[in-house]
Structure 1
Amino acid sequence: MTDWGSVADWVSASATVAALLAASYAARVAYRQLRVLEDQEEYRQRAEKIRDASRVAVWVRIDAMSALPELRYVNASGMPIYDLVLWVATPEQTFTIVYVVDGPSAESKTMVRGTDDLQRQICESTYRPGWTQLLESGHLVCAAAFRDSVNRRWFRDFHGRLSEVEEQEDVGTRFAAHRVARFPRDSDTDGSRHPGPAG
């Protein structure tokens, strides 16, 4: 006759199996919670990393007085930015403006010296488009690259999207790729680069 064990043995075995199942379930719950915490920490670190850079923006509009493009900017980070390069692009032409440093500005305002440099480059060229029509049709756009106060490099594209620039990457190459994507069938003539302080 087969010995199936005593009732106590069955109870003990059942309790062991239940304990193993409970431990397995608890481990799965703990793992999921850990993943959530890791994701939250990664998001927090990312948000902290881009906090200052995300508060910097540059765009182009048409100056009502001169009917030429005007650069506007805001730097609400409270910290200066460095090595600021601005590209004002149309399907036929790109104008490049370089700043050594640009101080904080919580309110949006005209980038005076950058606008002066841009308009000087335009006046020295033979390029005479309808600027308002270009802007309204999305064919007058601005991109920017800069370093933040902790020496990270950033690129803000024609759509205003911000991305970090790898240390070995050339920002001019990144701009060129975005320009080709924006104006795929058009050639480009670069404007000259003139360093200067913020306006």
Structure 2
Amino acid sequence: MTGIDWGNVPTWISAIFSICAFGTALWAARAAWKQVKFSADEQKRRDEKDEQEQASKVAAWLVVDEKRKTAAVRYVNNSGVPVYFLTVTPMLAPDRKLLINIAEPGEGPRSVEFDTLADWLRSDADYPARYVQYAGLEVEFLDSNNNIWTRGSNGYLRRSEGHELWNWVNDLKRDEGQHERAENSYQVRVVNVN
């Protein structure tokens, strides 16, 4: 009669429990990694939402007096922090731009004359003044977190790469004092609002 060697059974049981413990540790590590990744993604979403919330509190619109053929941009920054290089481009006159270097936060809208657009309206403009106002503007600006935002004429706000804005602003800095850039056919009015 052959007997069972019970001496190896505890070794086998120990090996099985070790494998189970290793599997449990792997499962716990994977669950912890997923939790950390989820937390990081959630924090990123919260940060993006906060940034977009700040950007959504910045707006600009065009006010055109058709009889006097004057134009002004009204803008508001209710975000609590300044935004930089607020660039306003009328949709029907994209070669006319208004650049406000710093748009300080404030209680309500501020108004800035848009002389280059008014000059265009007084000349042989292709459209009546009211059409320019109705077509709207595109607004770009740099927020305090170095994000460039674009609000289209439809009012939709989106984060932008802003290469054109950066190139344009850098050209203006380099050509300091020259507000009209004939080589790119932009007519720009740069405003420092106090």
Deviation readout 1:99-155 (Å, 9 max, x if unpaired): 233222344x3x4224x436523333311524555666xxx23122333446x2523
SS of corresponding position for 1:104: coil
Contact 2:56 2:157 in 1 (8 A): no
Match of 1:142 among 120, 124, 137: 137
Name the CA distance, whole Å, in 2 between partners of 1:93 and 1:144: 11
Name the CA distance, whole Å, in 2 between partners of 1:112 and 1:36: 45
1:88 is displaced (CA, Å) by 0.6
Contact 2:64 2:70 in 1 (8 A): yes
Q: Which has the larger radius of gyration?
A: 2
Name the CA distance, whole Å, in 2 between partners of 1:44 and 1:55: 17
AA matched with 1:147:
L
AA matched with 1:120:
A
AA matched with 1:95:
R
1:18-167 alignment runs, 5 A limit: 18-49=20-51, 52-60=54-62, 71-90=73-92, 94-107=95-108, 109=109, 111-114=110-113, 116-117=114-115, 120-130=118-128, 132=130, 140-149=135-144, 152=146, 154-158=148-152, 159=154, 160-165=156-161
Cα 1:172/1:33, change in 2 over 3 Å: closer
1:29 is displaced (CA, Å) by 0.7
| Percent identity of paired positions between Structure 1 and Structure 2 | 21
AA matched with 1:162:
R
AA matched with 1:104:
P
User: How many residues end up aligned between the 2 structures?
Assistant: 175
Partner residue in 1 for 2:180: none
SS of corresponding position for 1:78: coil
Name the CA distance, whole Å, in 2 between partners of 1:76 and 1:50: 13
RCO higher in 1 or 2 (8 Å CA, sep ≥ 6)?
Answer: 1
Structure 2 gaps of 5+ residues are: 169-183
Deviation readout 1:49-82 (Å, 9 max, x if unpaired): 5554342222346668869765342211223333
Structure 1 gaps of 5+ residues are: 175-188
AA matched with 1:34:
V
AA matched with 2:55:
A
